[in-house]
Amino acid sequence: MNSNVNGTAHKIPNDLKKALEDKSQAIIIWRGLTPLARNEWICWNISVKQEDTRKNHIQRTVSELLKGKRRPCCWIGCVHRKDKKVSPSVQWILDNRSTATKK
């Protein structure tokens, strides 16, 4: 797999790669993103639990890239990166999210 399609912490999943390649302009834009930006999109796509949500995120990734967006909107960011610590505000969200699901 070509390294200029992956992120910093994640490899691009096949379903996302195929969706981008189906729109030639989308894959060109994707390759022009920074590895960190690609990583945010990949993590945003793979972090969902429902298959329908994942399909929706993949479709939105392609359409939003074509509209000029460089990163997913309203996303807390990838918590899988090893090059930086999770910020206190993101850690608070993660802690509260896991507490809410236990109730």
Domain locations along the chain: 3-75
Could you give the angle at the alpha carbon of 55 between the alpha carbons of 49 and 43, nearest 5°?
60
Convert the pLDDT of each residue in 22-44 to its tens digit.
Answer: 999 999 999 999 999 999 999 99
What count of residues does the chain have? 103
User: What does the pLDDT look like over 53-101, one tens digit per residue?
Assistant: 999 999 999 999 999 999 988 776 776 666 667 677 767 777 886 665 5
Does residue 43 sit in helix, strand or coil? helix
pTM over 0.75: yes
